Amino acid sequence: MYNISLYKTPIHELSGVAQLLGLERLLIKRDDLLDLYGTKTRHAHRIFSHLRQQGVRSVELVGDGDSNCLRIYAMAACRVGVQPRFRFLTPLRTGNAQIMMKFRTFDGPPDFVLHWYEMKNFAVDACVEAFSEVVGQIDEPIERIYLSSYDATGIGMVVGVAKAKMDTKIITAYAPPPVGGIVIDDSDNDIASMLDEACKRHGVVVSQPPDRRLVVDSCEAVVEEILNVSGVLLDPKYTGRAMYVLMQDAQEGKIRSDERVLFWHTGGIFLNV
């Protein structure tokens, strides 16, 4: 069986962007180079290895038609011999949708139905592990990390910070849900509960939860700017929003010029909007 490859993704300087923003140094973590093109690779292999061990051979994936999560989950399922199909709640419009349309489907009931927001404990724990990876790669503590996350990735990062006994602020950016997409009721309480459960699993106390920022504005201009300044490709819906928040904080003087900042490139497909 072909396994999903997980390897230590590189960290390198974004010197052009740092200069643009008046920062002495800006680092980037390149999870876009993971096997399935994004940080969700880190937990997708855990979920589908677990399902395969439980005897699951087919899965119905439920979520939005432009979802990074569904696209990565389908790829991960195929890698371990689980046949995926989709139940889309919004139209297929973007880069992820173009890929998901190429997956074959199957008839009859699936062995398992998986909504994108379920089994989040796998995602949280994978991101705790990912933060420990960063600790081993850097020569001095990071003070701020910016990334795209609605809930689990950011929670995993703050728990990782607590486990490493570091004083790192996690800033996450997320997009409004698409019209007709899944809206999780009482999301603040859900996130607080998820964080509490993760702290118990890992035996830590988190003093500073993720600083979550909703970004409504289009981030296509940010994607273009970063591409031309650094040669790094972001996508407008996910990573572009995280970079938008980083740039906004720098321009508003919320980041010291000598502050140690890391941008976590969580991957994605460029045509996402």
The confidence score (pLDDT) of residue 185 equals 46
Q: Which of 82, 3, 92, 86 is nearest to 41 (CA)?
A: 3
Residue 194 and residue 227 in one domain: yes
Domain count, the chain: 2
Residue 189 and residue 55 in one domain: no
Residue 143 and residue 190 in one domain: yes
Residue 77 and residue 204 in one domain: no
Residue 139 and residue 225 in one domain: yes
User: E strands along the chain, which residues?
Assistant: 11-13, 26-30, 58-63, 83-88, 112-115, 144-148, 169-174, 211-214, 261-265
In a domain, 259, yes or no: yes
Question: Domain ends where: 115, 142, 166?
Answer: 115
Instruction: Lay out the sheet containing 261-265: strands in order across.
Output: 11-13, 26-30, 261-265, 144-148, 169-174, 211-214
Residue 98 and residue 165 in one domain: no
Residue 48 and residue 107 in one domain: yes
The confidence score (pLDDT) of residue 151 equals 87
In a domain, 272, yes or no: no
Report the range of poorest mean pLDDT among 22-31, 63-72, 105-114.
63-72
Mean pLDDT, all residues of the chain: 89
Question: Domain ends where: 115, 135, 168?
Answer: 115
The confidence score (pLDDT) of residue 191 equals 84
In a domain, 270, yes or no: no
Residue 25 and residue 155 in one domain: yes
Residues in a beta bridge with 85: 60
Residue 31 and residue 103 in one domain: no
**Is the pLDDT at 220 greater than 50, yes or no?**
yes
Q: Which domain holds residue 16?
A: 11-37+123-265
In a domain, 3, yes or no: no
Tokens of 227: 């591409």
Give the mean model confidence (pLDDT) for residues 100-114: 95
Report the range of poorest mean pLDDT among 92-101, 125-134, 197-206.
92-101
**Is the pLDDT at 179 greater than 60, yes or no?**
no
Task: Return d(Cα 3, Cα 78) in angstroms, integer.
Answer: 10
Residue 228 and residue 154 in one domain: yes
The confidence score (pLDDT) of residue 198 equals 94
Question: Domain ends where: 59, 85, 115?
Answer: 115
In a domain, 18, yes or no: yes
The confidence score (pLDDT) of residue 2 equals 43
Q: pLDDT band at 271, cuts 50/70/90?
A: low
> What share of the chain in percent tops pLDDT 90?
62
Q: Which of 89, 69, 9, 12 is nearest to 262 (CA)?
A: 12
The confidence score (pLDDT) of residue 255 equals 98
In a domain, 235, yes or no: yes
**Is the pLDDT at 187 greater than 70, yes or no?**
no
In a domain, 228, yes or no: yes
Task: Return d(Cα 67, Cα 121) in angstroms, integer.
Answer: 19
**Is the pLDDT at 3 greater than 60, yes or no?**
no
Residues in a beta bridge with 38: 267
In a domain, 271, yes or no: no
Report the range of poorest mean pLDDT among 28-37, 52-61, 125-134, 184-193.
184-193
Residue 229 and residue 106 in one domain: no
Residue 159 and residue 247 in one domain: yes
Place of tokens 């603040």: 188
> What share of the chain in percent tops pLDDT 70?
91
Q: Which of 117, 142, 136 is nearest to 62 (CA)?
A: 117
Backbone angles phi, psi at 60, to 5 degrees: -105, 120
For residue 190, give the CATH number of its domain.
3.40.50.1100
